[in-house]
Amino acid sequence: MPKTLFEKVWEAHAVRTLASGQTQLLIGTHLIHEVTSPQAFGMMRDLGLKVAMAHRTFATVDHIVPTDQVSEPYADPLADAMIKELRRSCREFGITFFDRSTGKQGIVHIVGPEQGITQPGTTIACGDSHTSTHGAFGTSSRRRPWRSASSRCAGSR
């Protein structure tokens, strides 16, 4: 019987079947943003963990970027702190950061396709409610913000 695109991508990225019956998948790309990342980076620091395949993790700021102000420091102290924390974490963990000054910054689920990161036949994890939109490009994408740190450390889940 012919397989669906989803089945093909899933099988190509299956690492193993866990005792629970769940499949451990290799996550090829991880897209992160300023809202769910601070907690994950904090957990990684506490546990002394590094980012697995940091070259496959890409960050941008989109949820809290002020639209009425283009220069830092931002008037909104929470926005300013979150953006600075993501910038610091990306530098510390060796992650590509599409900062505002790069001209590549944008909405996290749009940055992947715009920058050529989202590719057919790949797997993507991102803690954003629009992550499934990458499926239009022939990917298997998952939104699991609570597993953000584990995806970063292991490259799978």
pLDDT in tens, 1-25: 999 888 898 899 999 999 999 888 8
The residue range of the domain holding 44 is 5-67+78-154
pLDDT attached to residue 12? 93
> Which CATH number fits the domain that encloses residue 26?
3.30.499.10
Beta strands in 6-109 (DSSP E): 14-17, 23-25, 29-32, 57-60, 96-98
Q: Judge whether residue 40 has pLDDT over 50.
A: yes
Q: What percent of the chain has pLDDT over 90?
A: 32
Each residue's pLDDT tens digit, 53-86: 999 999 998 888 777 877 778 888 888 888 899 9
What's the token pair of residue 69?
């102000």
In a domain, 147, yes or no: yes
3-state helix, strand, coil in the chain (%, to 5): 45, 15, 40
In a domain, 83, yes or no: yes
In a domain, 122, yes or no: yes
In a domain, 73, yes or no: no
In angstroms, rounded to a whole number, what is the distance separating the alpha carbons of residues 114 and 127? 18
DSSP state, 107? -
For the chain, the domain total comes to: 1
